Structure 1
Amino acid sequence: MLRKKRDRAEPGEDATDALEEEVLAEEVEADLVQEPEYDRADGPFDLTEMADPDAESAERLDLGCLQVPLLDGLEVRVEVDPNTEEPAAVTFIREEGALQIQAFAAPKSGGGWEDARGDISRSVTSDGGTVDEQEGRFGTELFATAYFADDDGEQIEQRMRFVGVDGPRWMVRGVLLGAGAIPADAAPLEDVFCSLVISRGDVAVPPGTPLKITLPEQVPDAAELVEEDEQD
């Protein structure tokens, strides 16, 4: 902002002008660092946003808080927490890539994915891994490299790509592995992520609480559902 210099300044005007300029500078800086919002027009969707939820659910696998698309060649695995013996995550496997999904309660004001990124970064780096924040198809994403020991004690390097989207009182997070961690090869799994429908429910739960995954009584012929323990 340009200001015309006054020949004479009234008492206190210099201090007032300086304060206004400082506030303006802070506002400009905030605008420059503000995180770009991801447009959910292409998904993931909230259940209330579907034109005909009943018709849409007929073409999807209903896993409680998540409705997932039924696609040829897409294997669906429900990861079970060995401590609680409850479903904890859903993993989609397609060719050489995988996508693991979890949905969480979030505040109305949003910001769930931003908070989650901080937690993920601290967790990965505390174990000796690296994290790089980049802009991608879903807005701000995390590209991480983690290191694990196999059964023989040999160190294994694993590359992961974390994506997340905030919706109405929910946040859905995905971890892309294998080919999914490489943006150029990840389109099929990215499309699966976009096709998700989240059912938040009306039960009041604290932000950050995982939304409940349930197993269907009957699995459609088009789906391949495998239930297995979540790996540590």
Structure 2
Amino acid sequence: MFGWGRRRESRQSDVDEEIGSEDESEKWGPFDEKPPAGDSLSRLDLGSVQIPVPSGAKIQLELDPAGPVRAVHMVTGLGRLTVSAFAAPRSGGLWADVKNELAEQLGKDGTRVRKEQGEWSTELLAASPKVTMRFIGVDGPRWLLRGVAAGPNDHAPELARVLYDVVRDTVVVRGPNPMPVRTPLPITLPERLAQHLEQAKAQQQQAAGGQQTQISQQQMGIAQRRQAGR
């Protein structure tokens, strides 16, 4: 394990010397492969990423049309958080390219975008009249972790702090297999979430089937009335 980040730097040097062992334990992530020794923080294990879920947050799944889970969102009272991991080159530096592409795309859509130096790298802030989105990126060993916070403008600073806390304690498990750069690391749902997803799909299919049956019955009724009127 190693913390892919930096140590807290807010303490004075003389204090750091007195509590060196404690300061060593305060390295923050995101972490590669596993959390630090002695870490007992509860995390949502999604296979390629292990994410601490803020208290009171609800999990929202975003599905790809082909079937797999595209993203896992955490919906809080302040806004929505999304943490995703991607395959990256050994040389690192993927966030610099992704960040610039995001800024260009958002700008073309008419969104006001500005860059801001964050805890790990340069961040993007995209603001509209009602909503602020913050994009942060952390280049790790053969992976890129991207965090996104989206919520009302009034809650933007507080929501950003929650996102930082989540990213600091996230664990990325890339695995040894080669993958094309920028490929999203696969998401594996815990059994409980997988069951909820299957139940939701079944309910949608039943609802769609019921709607089709209702339409068919209506069509039959129309046909019968036409025949009766002849």
TM-score interval, normalised by the smaller of the two chains: 0.5 to 0.7
Note if 1:68 corresponds to 2:42: no
Does residue 104 (structure 1) correspond to residue 92 (structure 2)? The answer is: no
Say if 2:29 is the partner of 1:46.
Answer: no
Show structure 1 runs of 5+ residues with no match.
1-36, 147-155, 220-224
Alpha-carbon separation, structure 1, partners of 2:159 and 2:61: 24
- How far apart, CA to CA, are the structure 2 residues paired with 1:49 and 1:66? 11
Match of 2:176 in 1: 202
Give yes or no for contact 1:179–1:185 (8 Å, CA) kept in 2: no
Q: Which residue of 2 aligns with 1:130?
A: 112
Alpha carbons of 1:135 and 1:200: their partners in 2 closer, same or farther (altered >3 Å)? same
Residue in 2 aligned with 1:92?
74
Greater share of helix: 2
Inter-partner Cα distance in structure 1 for 2:58 and 2:91: 35
Deviations 1:151-203 (A, max 9, x none): xxxxx753211111011110011111115972355322321121111110111
Q: Residues 38 and 118 of structure 1: is their aligned pair in 2 closer, same or farther, counting only changes over 3 Å? A: farther
Contact 2:88 2:182 in 1 (8 A): yes
Quick check: 85-94 or 161-170, which moved more?
85-94
Number of the residue aligned with 2:100: 118
Deviations 1:37-76 (A, max 9, x none): 9537311111146437xx86x8322111111225531222
How far residue 102 of structure 1 moved from its aligned partner, in angstroms, is: 1.5
**1:174 counterpart = 2:147:** yes
1:7-86 map, 5 Å: 39=6, 41-48=27-34, 50-51=36-37, 59-81=42-64, 83-86=65-68
- Corresponding residue of 2:189: 215
8 Å Cα contact 2:78-2:158 kept in structure 1: no
Q: Is the 8 A contact 1:94 1:189 kept in 2?
A: no
Cα separation, 2, equivalents of 1:38 and 1:71: 21
Measure the CA separation in 1 of the matches of 2:5 and 2:157.
Answer: 17
Letter in 2 for 1:116: V
| Cα 1:131–1:70 shift into 2, 3 Å | closer
Report SS of the residue matched to 1:101. Answer: strand
Contact 1:76 1:91 in 2 (8 A): yes
Ranges in structure 2 where 5+ consecutive residues have no aligned partner: 8-26, 202-230
Note if 1:162 corresponds to 2:144: no
Larger deviation, residues 40-49 vs 189-198: 40-49
Amino acid at match of 1:60: R
Write the distance in 2 (CA, Å) between the matches of 1:134 and 1:182. Answer: 14
Share of identical aligned residues, percent? Answer: 40
